[in-house]
Amino acid sequence: MSRSAARVLVVGLGGIGCPASLALSRAGVGTIGLCDDDEVESVNLHRQILFAESNVGEPKVEAAARALRAMAPSIGLRLHARRLLPDNAAELVAAYDIVLEGADNYATKFLAADACAVAGVRVVHAAAVRWIATALAVGARGRPCYRCVFEDVPEGGGQGCAQAGVMGPAVGIIAAAQVDLALAMIDGVSTEGQLVTFDGKAGVLRRRSIRARPQCPLCGDSPRIRCIESEAYSANA
């Protein structure tokens, strides 16, 4: 697939989604979907690089679209001013070739993983909390997958960057790794099962391959997740 023909959905226009969207547009990706239902806040500005003070209070998808078009006028953008939810996830991801997931909560991350597996769509997950960040590439066959590593939504929803904090450099570096994995997929290079980890305090970036977990409910030997059920993502409501 050529980059100009590729369709990539970015889920979450936060500290990861902003630099990822910018890198995709500069790399010549033809169509980028922007999915987020939030508005720009002043506390976002230190790490969400598509926004300025003048954007505070605006829908993120609209502010991001203007910034991207200013830098890449020919880019094709699709704006989804909504949250990825169980009732729209499978249909939304099915319209794209690759999904870049950079949500700030675990429920959305697992929903994206499951929806992409059900739809047979490749996905690259990315996350960052404090100084630690990860990116994981999952192929269209969905094995190994996000659940092979993280298993399920933590009890009580877990702590994301909103609760625990995040350092701006960490999200920028892991967004670059996420886009690198996605562009390799577009260019025909297999990155399935590759996990990138970054420790900002130690200044260490690692890349390794993971194995599928036989007991994984999504891609294991006896998978149990074959459709999207709202109850499994109650923390996402």
Asked whether residue 237 carries a pLDDT value surpassing 60, the answer given is: no
Q: Residues of the chain with pLDDT > 90: what percent?
A: 84
With vertex at residue 20, the alpha carbon angle to CA 56 and CA 160, rounded to the nearest 5 degrees, is: 70
Within a 13 Å sphere around the CA of 64, how many CA atoms are in the beta-carbon half? 38
- Residue 166 predicted with pLDDT over 80: no
pLDDT of residue 159: 55
Phi, psi of 128 (to 5 degrees): -150, 135
Please give the Cα distance from 113 to 146 (Å, whole number). 6
Give the model's confidence band at 90: pLDDT under 50 very low, under 70 low, under 90 confident, else very high. Answer: very high
Which domains occur in the chain, in start order? 3-236 (3.40.50.720)
The amino acid sitting at 97 is D
pLDDT category of residue 231 using cuts at 50, 70 and 90 = confident
Residue 89 reports pLDDT greater than 60: yes
In degrees, rounded to 5, the angle at the alpha carbon of residue 16 between the alpha carbons of residues 117 and 120 is 10
Mean pLDDT, the chain, rounded, equals 93
**Measured distance CA(85)–CA(92) in Å, rounded:** 10
Question: What per-residue confidence (pLDDT) applies to 149?
Answer: 94
pLDDT number for residue 160: 56
Please state, as a whole number, how many other Cβ atoms lie within 10 Å of the Cβ of residue 218.
26
* pLDDT band, residue 167 (cuts 50/70/90): confident
What is the β-pairing status of strands 194-199 and 31-35?
A: unpaired
Answer for the pair 30, 76: CB distance below 8 angstroms, yes or no: yes
Mean pLDDT of 156-181: 79
Which residues lie below 8 Å from residue 134, measured CB to CB, with a gap of 6+?
A: 125, 126, 127, 128, 174, 195, 196, 197, 198
- Tell me the C-alpha distance between 136 and 215, whole Å: 19
User: In which band, very low, low, confident or very high, does the pLDDT at 178 lie, cut at 50, 70 and 90?
Assistant: very high
Mean pLDDT on 109-123: 97
Predicted TM-score of the model (pTM): 0.93
The DSSP-derived string for 162-199 is HHH-B-HHHHHHHHHHHHHHHHHHHTT---TTEEEEEE
The position carrying tokens 């192929």 is 139
Sign of CA dihedral 222, 226, 230, 233: positive
Mean pLDDT of 75-79: 97
Name the helix (H) or strand (E) containing 69.
helix 60-71
CB atoms within 10 A of CB 189: 9
